Amino acid sequence: MKTKITVIFIIFLAIFLGCNRNVEKKDFVLQGDVFGTTYKITYLNASKNYQKSLDSLFLAFNQSLSTYIPTSDISKINDGDLTIDVDDFFVEVFEKSKRIHQETDGFFDPTVGNLVNAYGFGPEKGNFTLSDSLINEFMKDIGFEKVSLKDRKINKENPNVFLDFNSIAKGFAIDIIARFFDSKKVDNYLIEIGGEIRSKGSKKDNKPWVIQIVNPANIQDENGFTILKLADISMATSGNYRKYRVTDDGKKYVHTINPKTGLATESNLLSASVFTKTNCADADAYATAFMAMGFEKSKQFLEKNLDIKAILIYTDEFKNIQVFDTFYKD
């Protein structure tokens, strides 16, 4: 009987000590390359390095949505295989894209992929000098309304439609990582992929996360255009100051394609930084749409959608740099 009581006591003691063992919490900064760009992920007061878990998420995400991987689901669909059962990542990105396509009157359109390639900004490099007649031919393949999703299968009215979700993908990947951290009870983090950002909580000592918006007139400016404090905010910036090409005769082509015209020419909008208190995917897509819209249409959109905030940097009729700012006020 005494032996039995001793065994029970030892088991109880082991359980008690195991439950009360203090797990050491640390701050982590993970950095690397992904999606053709870089990432930096900072999270605080956590019990584990989640690098392997994030690598697995990146791998699954690429296998679903990367147009740069020939064996990905989206690449197979673009090659004409409509038997693919797409995964949850694909379904969610598709449905978000449909909503934002409608909200922006078609200025956000993931079917501009063939033109992106033709202008030399996609996985299939083109010569980026397109005649009007060739642009008109490509325009026949553009229109997200020509694509539908049912029972996890894509249907295309026009087989030549090329899907490309790169203008929303980085933001969505950030949201996936944020969900992962939330599931692990990580309360303070800053996730950045290729300049798109999602923040939660704060840095140490309750100091806010601080980010910098690039000066589109001088991207080498170390001071940036402005400094912002973020707390529980997602941000995405789109601009034509990095990805562009200039022909021998001095004509500039930018990576943002206007899905209404098929043109890759500059508007008066130099950069659009969009902020939401929900997810980064939305901010990413709206920023892309604004660059296609130009300043006036973007301003009108923001005045009608007050929950979406933005900093628009544009040039006026005299080529002077101006700012339209609806960022959250204290």
**Structure-block tokens of residue 229:** 């404090």
Q: How far apart are CA 217 and CA 221, in angstroms?
A: 9
For the segment 62-82, what is each residue's pLDDT rounded down to a tens digit?
999 999 999 999 999 999 999
Q: Comparing 262 with 105, which gets the higher pLDDT? A: 105
Stretch 139-165: mean pLDDT, rounded?
95
Q: Comparing 283 with 120, which gets the higher pLDDT? A: 283
For the segment 6-16, what is each residue's pLDDT rounded down to a tens digit?
545 444 444 54
Q: Comparing 125 with 283, which gets the higher pLDDT? A: 283
Name the strand (E) or helix (H) holding 167. helix 166-183
Residue among 256, 261, 264, 289 nearest 105 (CA): 289
Domain ranges of the chain: 26-325
- Maximum CA extent, the chain: 97
For the segment 250-304, what is each residue's pLDDT rounded down to a tens digit?
555 567 888 999 887 777 888 899 999 989 999 999 999 999 999 999 999 999 9
Stretch 295-319: mean pLDDT, rounded?
94
Q: Which fold has domain 26-325?
A: T-fold (3.10.520)
Tokens 């019990």 belong to residue: 47
